[in-house]
Structure 1
Amino acid sequence: MSSSVLEKLVEIRGIETNYVDAWGKPAIVSDASKAKLLETMGYSVSDEQALQSELKDFVANNWMQPLNPVQVNRIGEPLVIALRLPIELVNDDYTLKFTLEDGSELEQAIIPADGELINVVHIDDVEFQEYIIDVKHQLPLGYHDVQLLGDDGDKIADMRQIIAPKACFKPQNIANNEKVWGLSVQLYCVRSETNWGVGDFSDLTYLIKQSGRQGAQFVGLNPIHALYPADPEACSPYGPSSRRWLNFIYIDVSKLDGYQDPSVQEIVNAPEFQSALQHVRNIDYVDYEAVVQLKLKVLKAIFEVQWQKSLSKNTKLNKVFKAFIEEGGESLAMLATYDAIQEKLANEGKASWGWPVFPSELSEFHKPGVEKFKKANNKNVKFYMFLQWQAALQLDAAQSTAVQAGMSIGIYRDLAVGVSEGSAEIWGNRDLYVTDASVGAPPDVLGPLGQNWGLPPMDPETLYQQKYQPIIDLFSSNMKSAGALRIDHVMALLRLWWVPKGENAKAGGYVYYPVDDLLGILALESCRNENLVIGEDLGTVPDEIRIKLAENGVHSYRVFFFEQAKDGGFYSPHHYPVQSMSTLTTHDMPTLTGFWHCLDLEKGKELGLYPSDEVLQELYSSRHENKQQILNTLHGHFSIPDWMGRHVEQVAMVKELNHGMQYHMAKGSSALLSLQLEDWLEMDKPVNIPGTFKEYPNWKRKLTRNLEQIFSDPVLNSLALGLTETRKKASNND
């Protein structure tokens, strides 16, 4: 194999050859890993002649496009367009026609050769030249279409021109340096007196009302993306079916029109239904299978009531539903059809976990067989559209409650880094995803063996050729009914660690993405939707992305336990960047109680997560030292009572220590402080243990108390009001 051909492809396809690891040491990606990564992208790495041909085709295809598919610029900066043509055409007359987002048109006459010549190449004995053309017009913010027209007016090529703001949106109070706090919660784990065994949008509304009264400015959610109605146990919010749509399980069924209909009430009031309902409410872990069965049974009955009364007739309600379907477009049709297919296959006892096991004629959304299925099962497809409609209405009502309560942010949503292999999102856009690879992470503090998340990555070249539409859709849809968006693993905007299928996570490598373009789109959607943006920048984070995120107004994500100096001491939250959201723990970490009592290390040993006893002992030793340093920090900043012991052997995780740590964070400089309800309740069991699948009930553990009990607890109410007061003082001190 000619290394020059392979290395050239490695370079032009954005595969990183070396990087700095999580411990600050240089690391090199092996030749074998680079070859495997190219193979996942579809290159014939074992056939030198074929590989040379593929390289030649890749270069030629780019030169055959007179205009780039898409270009992103910031408002106010000089605008230029690259134009590529055969040499015999560069002196001809052309027109650049700009169709702005509002429909207005601008034109500019050009002769390519009058521009700046920047590149020349020969393809099959034809010389192509590339010129830079200065655009004379100032374009406004938005998505615009640019066409290259010949002197006869015929279209030769087109491109999308995106004009983005300088930075992401910030609410006025945050821009004015106000410090705020809020609660973070996994919505499914919420208990209440009325929900059906899983937290719902009515619980969210209640949580917003109550926490808002005590001064909280936001409620943060883990991803609420669409999962798999026909496969309830596939419950990870970070392995969704579609990131553009919602998980119907969060619908409060009892609030829908039609719920009081006798036909529905007969189902709900049946003894066996009530018994099952009590079961799912009372158990300590979410029984997704049972919850989904209960909800779908009643939702289908409600849909039937609405279908008979309104949705099959020319009514006002049906017009609203049709408008929702039309706005959802192909994406909504795709998800609803996928869910209907999966349900049908599951009911027939056939393999149904995802599109890779669907019958051939149904294995891709754009196949004729799928269109045939959609027509034959129109009503059931409409049912799944109906679920999305109702979920969107209830989520929007929750955010409206936040606005009415005076919250400056309200709901903050979470965008997962990818979708699972068998997802509807991949089924609907197979060309975009590299299914022979998975997103993960190189070895770091959280995962010493590296991590493989089982999420196929987007191909950056295909994303570019698709004019970034999938990313635009993801950002805009996840900013709906919210005041902030947290982007999980925000480094994905710069690079992703790809792991070839069948390989160990350590054998992966970084693939780069067009970070400046993606940040521009993020800023545009942020400003349009008035969403503050938080970037989860934990793990192996190059300085390059941290600088870019800061310049683009993206808030960093600072976790107390990771903010440690080289001498082992913990940085004071006073020293965190103002443009950040700070927190004590996350969904991938033990709770405060779990951390302090090393319950995560005990569980890790039980589950065999550590390669040796020596490694485990090092972790125990490190934890002991860290706890002592934390205790020193808390005493040093007068964040805990003076009577509390100064040696970690003498101090358990009592309420005063728990609250003291929260107040310690509240005194800090971060604009936002996020606290977990689990720590308010002094819970010890984690939400998720990274590196496990069936070994631990991830994404199922509920809160230990109902919302109603939480917000009638005088101790917790006092804590909340104290946090509000502490944040006000922090605002005044800066």
Structure 2
Amino acid sequence: MPNEPQTDQSQRTESAERLARPLIQLANLWGISTSYIDQVGTYVEIADDSLVTVLGALGVDATSDELIDAALDRKRADLHKQLVQPTIVKFTGVENPVEVRVPAGATPTVSISLEQGGQGAADLATLEFAANDDDVDVYTLTISDELPEGYHHLKVSDGSNEAESTVLRAAASIPLPPSMDRQRWGWMTQMYSVRGADSWGVGDYGDLKRLAADAAAKSGADFMLINPIHASAPITPLEPSPYLPESRRFLNVTYIRPQDIEEYVELANEHTEQAQTVVGEVQALHARVADDNLSPDPLNINDAWDAKREALQIIFNIPRSAERQQQFEDFKKQAGEDLEAFALWSVAFEVWGAPWNAENDWFHKYTKSSPEVQQLKAEHHDLFEFECWLQWIAAEQVGAAQQAAKDNGMALGLMQDMAVGVHTYSSDVWWSPERFAVGQVTVGCPPDFYNQQGQDWGQPPFNPNYLEATGYQVYRDMVHNMFSRAGAIRIDHVLGLFHLWWIPAGKGPIAGAYVRYNHEAMLAVLTIEASRAQGMVIGEDLGTVPEFVRTVLSAHGVLGADVEWFARVNNSGNAGDPYMPPSDYRKFALASVTTHDLPPTAGYLLYDHVALRDELHLLNDVESFRKSAEAEQKAMLDLLTSGGWLSAEAAADVPNHVQEVVEAMHRMLKATPSLLLQAALVDGVGERRTQNQPGTSTEYTNWRVPLCGPDGKVVPTEQVFDLPRVQALSAIMNA
């Protein structure tokens, strides 16, 4: 049996001999792709040992030929006698016949319980005999378009056994919001990087509120795309990457602005000695880190949170009115068990310490059923309540930022970014490990041009079988929560709706395999939630993405992502190949000049990405990468000059005309038919430094680079949209 990946430039599919092998058949039955086509069109076969490890992560022992044969027999038998699948997807106008399999001679019955309450009419779900399959009769279950959009429960009985399914009933496509009557544009920013006088050394929700309001009122922007604001650990040291959160269900409380909390505002307006004492304590804590707001050095996220957390504990103890306390109680009730999980996990961190070391690994030692965990809650109830309160306050402040954006004229407001997954030690994994494939695999992506060694993001993937068995409830809750305080959601690595690259522990990204997910189910959830919020969904579909994925997403109203530096003719992955004219960009897309994983455009034009990757030893062949980058830039300049967006003089001397090239690339962006256009705030102010270098963690100051101008000085929140450079770029986007 082959043990290494096989690659072939001419071969496109697996041979009949390979497909006949029991291991290959078992992997495919469990949703594991045993081959793929990489970014430059090379056919790649997945090695046996990778398939065995990934099967093991799904709970299937395939470590010997005998075990493979037994597992294959069990899987086929289970599918043969499955009464009905646990999740059913029904899009308007799309026939989706579902098999119901009952013992030969049995007569199945079906009923539907509606999300809104009550039972659905009999004609909403009908059964029709289709065929006999040995000892099983097969019926076809048809869901009517008359079933209301939403989440419903269906029961099927064969007279002896009963099975339940969740029906995800969605429109055929996400409808465009009424505000999308014309092309709209907005800013992209890493909100933590933009700080004002009232910040605590790190950009926060108060800064976000000001940025959103000013972006609308002063620059005419219709949305603001921000980094993920999913929850982080409760104590320092913090994980700096917003793309490696501890929970995607809840919010990052380190971004709270203490001075904006209602109880503190009221107390600050009082003139009693007690009130002024409390206010003075908070002000003193703020003063401890306020000088960092003007520092161009990497953000000191740990000192900032240590000071802010003390202030928040002081404010938590300020008495709340009966009305405010009721609002807090209602928030806890609505958030349910997931909030209890996150709050208890946070308390465990604070009381027991971080579980990274084996001698303190409470994460693996205790579960939600352990008496020690319930004792922890009882003994530290105030701390538990504090963690719940932080989530309530964060939700209020993000909601206030969204409201400020809309009040000042934004069509969409906040565009929240959805990370691919969560940290291995996250609250989600601790409380509900059954949701994930943990221990043996992590998520990443295979090698491509921009990341020659591939990427390992260190995150445990969702278990697709759990999602299917539970009607995607955890995904529904997450999407609903994000849309409650946003006008749009951007899904990072949207390919994850279709499949994720699972990497066996210790093997490196090249040894991974794609595991398939039910993209129709997740698209149905996105459609339902976006429709209810009159919102939009954007899928980051860059890199190694099959064309059928883009076709499916577009058909369902999910906008793609077109980036000028990647938009080559025929989607070529070869640097130096011609760039497509802006008229060929997709209409249903968010088009931009750059992304958060590239240097700001000024830095990219000056080859900062080449120098940085070389310095960090991320390149297999430095000289080759440099030549490719030069060819890439020449192709871009050729398009800009031929289209009339840039003068030949500027193209011939880029180092002395960087800003002209930046503005020319945005003028070209305006010539696209794309519904949404995006400008990066770093391009507006003239920043050069990279926010994130893929393929690194501690080797580079990822996600800690403050917003600065070309002079290296910090650009404060209050001044961003008054800068002449930002105003000039805004004028281009508004033209």
TM-score higher than 0.5 here? yes
Which residue does the alignment assign to 1:577? 586
How far apart are the structure 2 equivalents of 1:688 and 1:7?
38
Q: 1:144-543, aligned counterparts within 5 Å?
A: 144-148=152-156, 156-174=162-180, 176=181, 178-213=182-217, 214-259=219-264, 260=268, 261-270=275-284, 274-279=287-292, 282-306=295-319, 309-310=320-321, 315-346=322-353, 351-353=354-356, 358-359=361-362, 363-435=366-438, 436-543=440-547
Alignment pair present for 1:128 and 2:136? yes
Alignment pair present for 1:74 and 2:85? no
Q: 1:628-707, aligned counterparts within 5 Å?
A: 628-641=634-647, 644-648=649-653, 651-704=655-708, 705-707=715-717
Alignment pair present for 1:717 and 2:724? no
1:517 Cα deviation after fit: 2.2
Deviations 1:314-339 (A, max 9, x none): x2222111110010011111111111
User: What is the SS of the residue equivalent to 2:428?
Assistant: helix
CA contact (8 A) 1:678 1:703 kept: yes
Alignment counterpart, residue 45 of structure 2, candidates 8, 20, 28: 28
Q: 1:134 to 1:640 in 2, by over 3 A?
A: closer
How far apart are the structure 2 equivalents of 1:135 and 1:616?
57
Deviations 1:173-196 (A, max 9, x none): 43x4x1121100111111212211
Unaligned runs of 5+ in 2: 2-17, 269-274, 709-714
CA contact (8 A) 1:220 1:412 kept: yes
How far apart are the structure 2 equivalents of 1:355 and 1:386?
31
CA contact (8 A) 2:93 2:172 kept: no
CA contact (8 A) 1:65 1:157 kept: no
Deviations 1:495-537 (A, max 9, x none): 1111011112111111111122221222111111221111000
How far apart are the structure 1 equivalents of 2:131 and 2:360?
49
Which residue does the alignment assign to 1:730? none
What letter corresponds to residue 399 of structure 2 in structure 1?
Answer: D
1:685 Cα deviation after fit: 0.8
How far apart are the structure 2 equivalents of 1:419 and 1:355?
21
CA contact (8 A) 2:226 2:417 kept: yes
Alignment length (residue pairs): 696
CA contact (8 A) 1:354 1:421 kept: no
Which residue does the alignment assign to 1:100? 114
CA contact (8 A) 1:355 1:363 kept: no
TM-score (structure 2 length as normaliser) = 0.89
How far apart are the structure 2 equivalents of 1:453 and 1:358?
22
CA contact (8 A) 2:200 2:289 kept: no
Alignment pair present for 1:141 and 2:155? no
Q: 1:438 to 1:136 in 2, by over 3 A?
A: closer
CA contact (8 A) 1:182 1:219 kept: yes
What letter corresponds to residue 172 of structure 2 in structure 1?
Answer: K
Which residue does the alignment assign to 2:631? 625
1:712 Cα deviation after fit: 2.3
User: What is the SS of the residue equivalent to 1:115?
Assistant: strand
TM-score (structure 1 length as normaliser) = 0.90
What letter corresponds to residue 373 of structure 2 in structure 1?
Answer: V
What letter corresponds to residue 140 of structure 2 in structure 1?
Answer: I
What letter corresponds to residue 233 of structure 1 in structure 2?
Answer: L
Deviations 1:262-287 (A, max 9, x none): 343232344x7623332465353211
How far apart are the structure 1 equivalents of 2:580 and 2:90?
38
1:232 Cα deviation after fit: 3.6
Alignment pair present for 1:7 and 2:24? yes
Alignment counterpart, residue 595 of structure 1, candidates 585, 604, 610: 604
How far apart are the structure 2 equivalents of 1:148 and 1:716?
60
CA contact (8 A) 1:332 1:385 kept: yes
Q: 1:608 to 1:137 in 2, by over 3 A?
A: closer
What letter corresponds to residue 413 of structure 1 in structure 2?
Answer: Q
Q: 1:49-88, aligned counterparts within 5 Å?
A: 49-62=66-79, 65-78=82-95, 80-88=97-105
CA contact (8 A) 2:448 2:544 kept: yes
How far apart are the structure 1 equivalents of 2:100 and 2:371?
38
How far apart are the structure 2 equivalents of 1:67 and 1:239?
36
How far apart are the structure 2 equivalents of 1:250 and 1:31?
45
CA contact (8 A) 1:95 1:108 kept: no
What letter corresponds to residue 347 of structure 2 in structure 1?
Answer: A
User: What is the SS of the residue equivalent to 2:640?
Assistant: helix
Q: 1:645 to 1:107 in 2, by over 3 A?
A: closer
How far apart are the structure 2 equivalents of 1:454 and 1:448?
18
Q: 1:487 to 1:603 in 2, by over 3 A?
A: same
How far apart are the structure 2 equivalents of 1:285 and 1:137?
55
What letter corresponds to residue 635 of structure 2 in structure 1?
Answer: Q
Which residue does the alignment assign to 2:6? none
Deviations 1:402-450 (A, max 9, x none): 2212211110001011111111111122112111111111110121111
How far apart are the structure 2 equivalents of 1:280 and 1:680?
20
User: What is the SS of the residue equivalent to 1:105?
Assistant: coil
Identity, % of aligned positions: 29
1:459 Cα deviation after fit: 1.7
CA contact (8 A) 2:110 2:125 kept: no
Unaligned runs of 5+ in 1: 122-126, 726-734
Which residue does the alignment assign to 1:563? 567
User: What is the SS of the residue equivalent to 1:674?
Assistant: strand
Q: Decide which moves more: 431-440 or 239-248.
A: 431-440
Deviations 1:278-319 (A, max 9, x none): 24653532111101101110001111113xx45xxxx22221
1:455 Cα deviation after fit: 0.9
What letter corresponds to residue 329 of structure 2 in structure 1?
Answer: K
User: What is the SS of the residue equivalent to 2:263?
Assistant: coil
Which residue does the alignment assign to 2:718? 708
How far apart are the structure 1 equivalents of 2:257 and 2:606?
37
User: What is the SS of the residue equivalent to 1:106?
Assistant: coil
Q: Decide which moves more: 78-87 or 384-393.
A: 78-87
Deviations 1:192-219 (A, max 9, x none): 1221111111211111121112211000
What letter corresponds to residue 82 of structure 1 in structure 2?
Answer: E
How far apart are the structure 2 equivalents of 1:583 and 1:374?
47
1:608 Cα deviation after fit: 1.5
1:136 Cα deviation after fit: 6.8
What letter corresponds to residue 281 of structure 2 in structure 1?
Answer: I
CA contact (8 A) 1:108 1:136 kept: no
What letter corresponds to residue 326 of structure 2 in structure 1?
Answer: K
CA contact (8 A) 2:684 2:725 kept: no
What letter corresponds to residue 587 of structure 2 in structure 1?
Answer: V
User: What is the SS of the residue equivalent to 1:557?
Assistant: strand
Which residue does the alignment assign to 2:12? none
Q: 1:37 to 1:188 in 2, by over 3 A?
A: same
1:226 Cα deviation after fit: 0.3
1:594 Cα deviation after fit: 1.3
How far apart are the structure 2 equivalents of 1:609 and 1:235?
21
How far apart are the structure 1 equivalents of 2:606 and 2:95?
58
1:78 Cα deviation after fit: 4.8
